[in-house]
Amino acid sequence: MANKRVYLFEEGNAQMRDLLGGKGANLAEMTNIGLPVPPGFTITTEVCMEYLRSGGKFPEGLMDEVRAAMAEVERRMGRKFGDPDNPLLVSVRSGAKFSMPGMMDTILNLGLNPQTVEGMIRLSGDARFAYDAYRRFIMMFSDIVLDVERHKFEEILGEYKKRLGVTLDTEVPADALKELCSDYMQLVEKETGKSFPTDPWEQLQLAIEAVFKSWNNPRAQVYREREGIPWDLGTAVNVQTMVFGNMGDESGTGVAFTRDAATGEKQLYGEYLVNAQGEDVVAGIRTPLHLDELMNINPEIYKQFDEIAKLLENHYRDMMDIEFTVEKNRLFILQCRVGKRTSLAAVKIAVDMAKEGLISKDEAILRVKPADIDQLLHPQVDPKAQVQVIAKGLAASPGAAVGKVVFDADTAAERGQTEPVILVRPETTPDDIHGMLASKGVLTARGGMTSHAAVVARGFGIPCVAGCEAISIDLHEREFATNGITVKEGDWISINGSTGEVILGQAPLVEAMFTDELHELLDWADERRGLGVRTNADNPRDARQAVEFGAEGIGLCRTEHMFFETDRLPIVQDMILARDEAQRRSALDKLLPVQQKDFEGIFEVMEGRPVTVRLIDPPLHEFLPSYEQTLREVTELRVAVNTLGGSALKALLEEKERLLEAIESQREMNPMLGLRGCRLSILYPEIVEMQVRAILQAAVAVKRRGIDVHPEIMIPLVGDVSELAFVREKLEAVAKAVVEETGQDIDYKFGTMIEIPRAALTAEEIAQHAEFFSFGTNDLTQTTFGISRDDAEGKFLAKYVEMELLPANPFEKLDREGVGKLMRMCVEDARKVNPSLKLGICGEHGGEPSSVEFCHEIGLDYVSCSPFRVPIARLAAAQVAIKDKVSVTVDK
Amino acid sequence: MANKRVYLFEEGNAQMRDLLGGKGANLAEMTNIGLPVPPGFTITTEVCMEYLRSGGKFPEGLMDEVRAAMAEVERRMGRKFGDPDNPLLVSVRSGAKFSMPGMMDTILNLGLNPQTVEGMIRLSGDARFAYDAYRRFIMMFSDIVLDVERHKFEEILGEYKKRLGVTLDTEVPADALKELCSDYMQLVEKETGKSFPTDPWEQLQLAIEAVFKSWNNPRAQVYREREGIPWDLGTAVNVQTMVFGNMGDESGTGVAFTRDAATGEKQLYGEYLVNAQGEDVVAGIRTPLHLDELMNINPEIYKQFDEIAKLLENHYRDMMDIEFTVEKNRLFILQCRVGKRTSLAAVKIAVDMAKEGLISKDEAILRVKPADIDQLLHPQVDPKAQVQVIAKGLAASPGAAVGKVVFDADTAAERGQTEPVILVRPETTPDDIHGMLASKGVLTARGGMTSHAAVVARGFGIPCVAGCEAISIDLHEREFATNGITVKEGDWISINGSTGEVILGQAPLVEAMFTDELHELLDWADERRGLGVRTNADNPRDARQAVEFGAEGIGLCRTEHMFFETDRLPIVQDMILARDEAQRRSALDKLLPVQQKDFEGIFEVMEGRPVTVRLIDPPLHEFLPSYEQTLREVTELRVAVNTLGGSALKALLEEKERLLEAIESQREMNPMLGLRGCRLSILYPEIVEMQVRAILQAAVAVKRRGIDVHPEIMIPLVGDVSELAFVREKLEAVAKAVVEETGQDIDYKFGTMIEIPRAALTAEEIAQHAEFFSFGTNDLTQTTFGISRDDAEGKFLAKYVEMELLPANPFEKLDREGVGKLMRMCVEDARKVNPSLKLGICGEHGGEPSSVEFCHEIGLDYVSCSPFRVPIARLAAAQVAIKDKVSVTVDK
């Protein structure tokens, strides 16, 4: 028994996407909930596959079913397809289950021929309207169905306009258009050797066949291949009555949102154009009216539309974007879909709808994209503004900033007092921090997502574009050049740290908005999520910010950032350059009280929340002057001594040479894989002993002030259990000593970072010597991939993503297949031997939604991320918990 | 029922090590095969544990059993323990199941007291002998049993010698020794408050107790802990009749090997000293006779001994080291054990014994240590020579070399023509290769096991000590200094690349010896091993050497080493510095015939054996001049331009600046993890396209000469399957093009190196796009550990091994726990989807015996190593195959 092949819109519904395609199912749904949709019918996807499988044989008897459906449509409209007196025109569209680029475009006004066009003139009383529709139809049909290239039609029209001395299509009068139509017909005959089909039923059959064929056109095939859409789905064909908003002042067309798409306010919001078609609104030739004015122009239609909008919102349970047309006082709904909205609106609409009872709180949480929150927390370049992007670098620290260009930190610090500045540097060093703090934003020409500029800026919440290799900075001339444009010191620029864009001049910004609705949404999220959310913070300022954003602890406090501050760096350098342990210890004695103070500040802010402190991690040379600079100085001095001589110069040279030698002895071929982390602590335990003493003494001091403290001491870069056991034993002794000396009990933990593959692979052993693990996924990604982030991000990773060799930058989005596999193994092995082990992540992935999802899946206890990502992580964690709990299907 | 607690030697055998300890079981075994072992008995280990478990209660009735056993000994010897007329003296020794340092020393001459010493005088007719034995006994017993420190006795003896005006102990006459004995007794009484025990039975009981207690002394406990020896094994106590070789000219003592320990010749070989005790031989005061002379002195004894030697060799089925004593024409065997031997002897003895039918070929293979082979393949410092080691670096390329010091490659190339030279450099670069080739050995102050010097020297088989940080080189003065010694150009030094030692002057060498027996042994090995053995070779010379050593193919041919040669480097640099693809292609066109020629040479030598060619791997900056040097030059030129001016100088500066910029743009923070391997091939496919064309064209040319060729093209540093798929597709096209152009079919394969963790983790996908995998365990170890070998080996890895944080340097011995775990997973996952995949290893571990064993275990198809390691790998592979097949127990 043959299946039903043609469905009137009344016969379908939203669930029939397989058979009717997405568009057909939606038209059927709208028809069935009583909306005034122009009547029509859908030919099923099965028919398409039958056609293709038969090698292009038009299915027998199909046109009979089409005629039967058309008869029902004619009945409803009171017009007849191909009737010269009262013609019915239709549109023909493709429509697969999934929206798919490459499929056939729309053909409008099908059914027109020399006879019916006269009927249209009579019906509309407007010959220009009718011939304009006719010439458009001939062009579209010829292009799509008959394969006559569109530009050939455009050329003929161009000649007409030239001859008439007009510039706009709309200025071509009716009789010229009529003549044009016959010229078009001749062109088609010349190109195809056949005359243009004038039988409406032949037109329709050819159009239906063209839709079937378009399923297999190359662009569609490529798309299906890439998206993994099966070949045998096929496309449906939608045939729908044409309605016209340009049939006089009782006609018109409009677009509306059921709520304000910019703010989320609950009010109908849109535009209306009298006597116009949809494409006139888009073309922007005439200024549309605010939708409210329709109330005055045509209160009855407005009332109808307002009711329909409410109905649609209730039906789809979301804010809708609706296209409609009024044809001679008759309202038609042409399309409706879930409306696009700003981040601000997304949050407000979700929360409002949950409170209205339209959706559940779970759904409200799932409706907001984590990226929306990111937008709300930072100033953004106004999306409506026209800006001149002059270069693009890495989106290193989110948010936008506007300021005058300065080229060094001192100038930034000075001018930043009185006016907004953007610090532009080849790259930044610890010496630039005061300047960075005084700047609205930072732009560097070199360095990756983990460069000094990027890390520090993210820490401070300052927008930053890093590694912008397209700009070349001339520090002497105090200017930078890019793509032929020169920007001098004092010129205005804007940077967008969320996209990496560098913009000339002052871009208009939209301020950060942590709204009440966002607070409410995140509170709901907190009630649902299983994962804890901590923050990466190295100082009280960041810690405070993170707590305000909802952080439940610190997952990573990098102690070495404290070492970089200007008052400490000289002491740190003394320590490194010390000739023996005694000298080193004396420098460390000076650092102890400074570090203790740092920790006291953080512990106070965190008020009893757990604080994971990572002991010193980077290779020591990072704290020393640059090798290149020192080499340059020594070479210059050497030349000077040789030419000028002089004992003072000579002494200076010798001193510099000693420094160079010291730096050289710390230099490494691959510092990422060198003497750092616990390796450093094994060779020079006195450094971490000082740090642990500082942590414990700070804890004692703060506890005595009545504030609870829970330090978790993290030993980095462990690759073998013996390293952890060795260092921990030494440090436990220090911790116990402080507890004994002070008589103050402190609840401290020791743990390690899992950041090199061998640690993950031997987790079963390491877990026996740790109270917690924290995945350092930045380093773990580097070692698992064998890729240095600093070197790769600019040089080849972006290219890899562009070439689709990798689905995403694995430093942004956790690589589940490789790094994730290691993590999963590690978690399983570790929990087997130490079920009470606390497991977290403190790499930058901890704030990236899909990575947060993965952390939930493998059963981590918490994620930790930079303060500004804390709200994102809270939302993402709740979303995965909800998805995990039930399968709420939200139709979007 | 109580167990038997005391065993006469006659009552035990070699299998009773648990109960009688190793020594006791061995004494019993020798007694039972009819050797004239001085009679005695063993108290079981169980008794020791009973004593210890009871908290130190001497087991009831034990002394009764001891007396019964002693009675039997007395019967055999015809003397009586404690009998003043005909005294029997005994030794008391500990003896656990495993030989264990820290256990009780031997007590000799037990049973002496004022009465029995007189009996000894009468028996020996030598008062000095008797009192000397007596004073030694008192000292040993007091030290070990009574806890009176030995040095106190030594001091008293010293005073005697001073008073007598003599220097040697042996010059102290009998009466003085008698007096000394009574002074010793007084010392003991003073120190312990008790008089020295004179009852022989009391002496014996105390000595037995001391042995029991020594099981728990701290040194023994530490040793057991470390070696994992269970506490409850306990030690046995051996009580044995004393015999004396110093009772006149019919007495004597000797040591002999059943075969020549130096050469392996089958002839009794040893030394004999008339009228002497074992310790006299060791002391070296008198020159012993060659054992053959015993034939003249005492033919009867010689004949007896010769028979015993044969008996022992047959019994133990190995070359034995035998200690014996003749007491008044009566031969006693005191000890026998498997004899130590040189590498040369080890091979000869194993092969000879197998041919004699004494052992199986399997056993012969298992008897030779892989390290023995390494010794035989390289000249070695004569182990008997006294040399002055002045510094120690890394053992970077095995073998020893002697030569005059030169400080640059040009001098080496020149002087090396006429005399042996050692090239000493801070580090080497590709520019030094001609000098390295002309040198006997290479010594560098910097760089690790993978430094240029180390890699090149190993490739060429030149001994090399690298990274010898203890020497400081002054290139201007042309000298180096170390530990206060200055070595000038032209001075003789020797280096030992097998140990890392730098030796002052000309050390005597032992030449390399690839003997017939070694060939034979390795042929046997080849019949048994499952693993294939290939070689890492980059040029025909190495390839030829490796084939001679038995390589069955090339597992790694590094194409970039070819790029470093002086005639090619400029073209390679042109290619790298090219401004666009066209320039790059033109440089590549010049390289193509050169590379083709290289491959032809290798293919010809390999005569149809498979050759795995790795496409370009290192980062491009390795081919450019050093950044530091160029920076120095630019800085100097800048100063010169500023002070002197001149357009020529200015032009030079600009050119250098351009070069510096180019180098800078290639510079990386962590080049190991940067733009190299297939990453390079993805960005600049034209380089590898040229290489594949060169490989295929070479294969065609060689095949046309009638030589079979099987190239296997290896794409390095793959981390994601997409990289492999992308590069392979491009290269397959090139290969197919060559086959088509030439009409010559070539059997080529494409595969990849597994050298980063992610490749191993995603093997299931990668294996679907490869025909072979080769584990690059050098890089895989680096990334799995997160350790840069170049940086770590000198700085902290050695220290880690020293501190026992790691059991071995993982770059030498494959880390089974981490790296090995990844490899095992990879092999399993890969074979699952591609059962025909060929799997090998080409890291340096491929020639290290325990790593070869692991490769066998996880089921690889072959190992590949440097030419000089090929014989080692053949042996190691056979050994593990034999062990795997059956459990041949070889008692050593």
Q: Look at strands B532-536 and B554-558 and give their pairing.
A: parallel
| Helices and strands (DSSP H and E) totals, chain A | 36, 33
**CB atoms B675 and A795 under 8 Å:** yes
HSE-up of B365 (CA within 13 Å, CB side)? 28
Mutation test of the interface with chain B: which of A617, A784, A789, A816, choosing the one with the most B Cβ atoms within 10 A? A784
**Cβ within 8 Å of residue A415, ≥6 positions away:** A404, A406, A421
- A828 Cα to chain B: minimum distance (Å): 16
For residue A891, name the pLDDT band (cuts at 50, 70, 90). very low
Mutation test of the interface with chain B: which of A636, A720, A801, A829, choosing the one with the most B Cβ atoms within 10 A? A720
Instruction: Write down the pTM of the prediction.
Output: 0.83
At A851, the amino acid letter reads: S
A373-393 confidence digits (pLDDT tens) = 988 888 888 877 889 999 999
**CB atoms A679 and B796 under 8 Å:** yes
Q: How far is it, in rounded angstroms, from Cα A694 to Cα A701? A: 10
| Helices and strands (DSSP H and E) totals, chain B | 36, 33
> What is the mean pLDDT of each successive set of 10 residues along chain B, which is 892 residues long?
86 93 93 94 96 93 96 94 94 89 82 95 89 93 92 92 87 92 95 95 96 88 81 93 89 92 90 81 69 92 95 94 92 89 92 97 96 87 87 89 95 93 90 88 85 79 89 91 92 93 93 91 97 95 94 94 82 87 90 95 98 94 87 88 86 89 86 94 94 98 97 98 96 97 97 98 97 97 94 84 90 96 98 97 94 97 95 97 70 38
- B716 Cα to chain A: minimum distance (Å): 12
Give the chain A residue whose CA is nearest to the CA of B632: A635
B757-768 confidence digits (pLDDT tens) = 999 999 999 999
**CB atoms B786 and A783 under 8 Å:** yes
Q: Phi/psi zone of residue B78: left (φ > 0), alpha (ψ -120 to 50 degrees), beta?
A: left
Mean pLDDT of the A796-819 span: 91
For the cut 80, the answer to whether the pLDDT of residue A190 exceeds it is yes
Q: How far is it, in rounded angstroms, from Cα A499 to Cα A503? A: 11
- Three-state DSSP at A132 gives helix
**Cβ within 8 Å of residue A596, ≥6 positions away:** A693, A694, A697, A698, A701
Contacts of A780 in chain B (CB under 8 A): none
**DSSP 8-state assignment for residue B57:** P
Give the chain A residue whose CA is nearest to the CA of B719: A785
For the cut 90, the answer to whether the pLDDT of residue A680 exceeds it is yes
Contacts of A668 in chain B (CB under 8 A): 788, 791
Contacts of B762 in chain A (CB under 8 A): 817-818, 821
Give the chain B residue whose CA is nearest to the CA of A722: B805
For residue A281, name the pLDDT band (cuts at 50, 70, 90). low
Mutation test of the interface with chain B: which of A669, A717, A762, choosing the one with the most B Cβ atoms within 10 A? A669
The position carrying tokens 């005006």 is B165
Give the chain A residue whose CA is nearest to the CA of B761: A818
- A568 Cα to chain B: minimum distance (Å): 25
Whether residue B787 lies within 8 A of chain A, CB to CB, comes out as: yes
**Cβ within 8 Å of residue A454, ≥6 positions away:** A394, A396, A397, A447, A448, A464, A466
- A431 Cα to chain B: minimum distance (Å): 20
* Start-to-end Cα distance in chain B: 36
Q: Is A842 a catalytic residue?
A: yes
**CB atoms A795 and B674 under 8 Å:** yes
- A753 Cα to chain B: minimum distance (Å): 13
* Segment (H or E) for B523: helix B516-528
Q: Is A826 a catalytic residue?
A: no
**CB atoms A636 and B639 under 8 Å:** yes
**CB atoms A786 and B673 under 8 Å:** yes
Cα A669–chain centre separation: 36
Residue A3 phi, psi (nearest 5):
-75, 160
- B24 Cα to chain A: minimum distance (Å): 39
**CB atoms B795 and A640 under 8 Å:** no
A59-109 confidence digits (pLDDT tens) = 999 999 999 999 999 999 999 999 999 999 999 999 999 877 767 778 999
**CB atoms B788 and A757 under 8 Å:** no
Tokens standing for residue B572: 């390679």
HSE-up of A687 (CA within 13 Å, CB side)? 28
What residues of chain B, 142 to 181, have a C-beta less than 8 Å from chain A? none
What residues of chain B, 812 to 851, have a C-beta less than 8 Å from chain A? 815, 817-819, 821-822
Please tell me the predicted confidence (pLDDT) of residue A221. 84
| Alpha-carbon dihedral sign for residues B648, B653, B658, B660 | positive
ipTM of the complex: 0.82
What residues of chain B, 717 to 756, have a C-beta less than 8 Å from chain A? 717, 719-720, 722-723, 726, 755-756
Mutation test of the interface with chain B: which of A721, A727, A791, choosing the one with the most B Cβ atoms within 10 A? A791
Long-range contacts at A350-358 (CB < 8 A, ≥ 24 apart): A350/A517, A350/A521, A351/A517, A351/A520, A351/A521, A352/A264, A352/A266, A352/A517, A353/A317, A353/A318, A354/A524, A358/A313, A358/A314, A358/A317
Judge contact between B465 and B390, C-beta under 8 A: no
Please tell me the predicted confidence (pLDDT) of residue A283. 55
CB-nearest partner of A670 from B719, B791, B799: B791
Catalytic residues of B, by residue number, are 452, 842
Residue B39 phi, psi (nearest 5):
-65, 160
**CB atoms B783 and A783 under 8 Å:** yes
| Alpha-carbon dihedral sign for residues A527, A528, A532, A533 | negative
CA angle A459, A464, A468 (to 5 degrees): 135
CA angle B224, B227, B229 (to 5 degrees): 50
Judge contact between A789 and A782, C-beta under 8 A: yes
Whether residue A53 lies within 8 A of chain B, CB to CB, comes out as: no
Residue (of A768, A671, A765, A776) closest to A714 by Cα position:
A776
CB pairs under 8 A between A and B: 185
**CB atoms B682 and A785 under 8 Å:** no
CB-nearest partner of B673 from A682, A787, A819: A787
For residue A2, name the pLDDT band (cuts at 50, 70, 90). low
Residue B44 phi, psi (nearest 5):
-70, 160
Residue B762 phi, psi (nearest 5):
-110, 30
Q: Look at strands A269-274 and A252-257 and give their pairing.
A: antiparallel
Q: How far is it, in rounded angstroms, from Cα B492 to Cα B488? A: 9
Mutation test of the interface with chain B: which of A765, A805, A815, choosing the one with the most B Cβ atoms within 10 A? A805
A29-68 confidence digits (pLDDT tens) = 999 999 999 999 999 999 999 999 999 999 999 999 999 9
For residue A198, name the pLDDT band (cuts at 50, 70, 90). very high
**CB atoms B784 and A722 under 8 Å:** no
**Cβ within 8 Å of residue A257, ≥6 positions away:** A268, A269, A270, A319, A320, A321, A322, A339, A341
Residue (of A321, A317, A473, A335) closest to A406 by Cα position:
A473
A97-123 confidence digits (pLDDT tens) = 987 776 777 899 999 999 999 999 998
Please tell me the predicted confidence (pLDDT) of residue B793. 78
B314-327 confidence digits (pLDDT tens) = 999 999 999 999 99
Average pLDDT of chain A?
91
Contacts of B722 in chain A (CB under 8 A): 804-806
Residue by residue, DSSP assigns A477-545 as: TTEEEETTEEEETT-EEEEETTTTEEEES---EE-----HHHHHHHHHHHHH--SEEEEE-SSHHHHHH
* Start-to-end Cα distance in chain A: 36
Whether residue A669 lies within 8 A of chain B, CB to CB, comes out as: yes
